[in-house]
Structure 1
Amino acid sequence: MANFVYIATSLDGYIAGPDGELDWLMNFPNPGKSDFGFGRFMKKIDALVMGRHTFEKVLTFGTWPYPKPVFVLSSTLTGIPEHLEGKVELVSGDLRAIVNDLNDRWFKNLYIDGGQTVQSFMREDLVDELILSRIPVVLGAGLPLFGKLDEAKRFDLVKNEAFKNGIVKTHYRRSR
């Protein structure tokens, strides 16, 4: 049972540009069409927990990319698009209670996605593993991956992988 963050950042720690733009990710060279291990990662995930902003961004992609159940954290959304009924569920409230409820429903390994959601899970010390892919670009401004914490959170290195196109993927596990 674990909560995972699997996310790409710029070298200066941003997950999106100042207006949420992701073009710097989509236009990065990937001649071998590698998924950089994302497919393998998704096989061990039972469900995703994402924030409303990330959900709304994913809706602009056209096709729904997730084969697993998705739980969207939102206190403002009132419904899910009809074509996603049965695939997406709205949740709100205390993060620990949400995680416990999902675990009780046999969603043991959760993929946590979205800037504010990752920051909230970090503040509550609910992130067990971080898999960060550093894209060799400096954005200079944007949406940071991590926000202010009341105390430091220590992680141990599990694995480090460097790819030919300059991406470095680093896997960390929470040291408790």
Structure 2
Amino acid sequence: MRKVFLTSIIAIGIILSVSAQSEEDTNAQRYEVKVITSVESIVSSGLGRSRIISTEEERDHKKFTSSRTEDDDERNKSSRKEIRVKNFEETKLLNFFNIGGIRFQNIAANDAVISSKINTMLSQGWDLAFVNSAVESDAGEGDNNGIFITRYIFKRLKNN
């Protein structure tokens, strides 16, 4: 009796484990992801360009990926032309600086435009999943260049 009970418990555990794995596999394929990038110039005198970029094309990363090993050290030979996207949405933003220095009104304007883009994405069924930011700023004497970049990563259920 005890042996049958233990066997039943093990069988139930295996079934639950396989069921959970099957559900995870199904969930992994249920979502699509979209990345929106804002690039805001922190070039002094307002000379830079600031934009929100959103692609209208898809790319399969596998076409541009190689697996390198000690025995096979060949790199991917994809050309930049194959990777480049020509169909994308570009939304103008204002630069952080103008001739007078930092321009807080420009930052507020950019916040309004970025909020509008996020609200549009939300209204289209996308959920904001992650936000990542980075700054490459003035690196010292002779370098008046810099950007503030933010990636907004959205996800939504696929329409299968």
Q: Which of the two has higher C-alpha Rg?
A: 2
Query: What TM-score results when the alignment is normalised by the length of structure 1?
Result: 0.26
Pick 1 or 2: higher relative contact order, CA cutoff 8 A, min separation 6: 1
Give the TM-score of the pair, scaled to structure 2. Answer: 0.28
Structure in which a larger fraction of residues adopt helix: 2
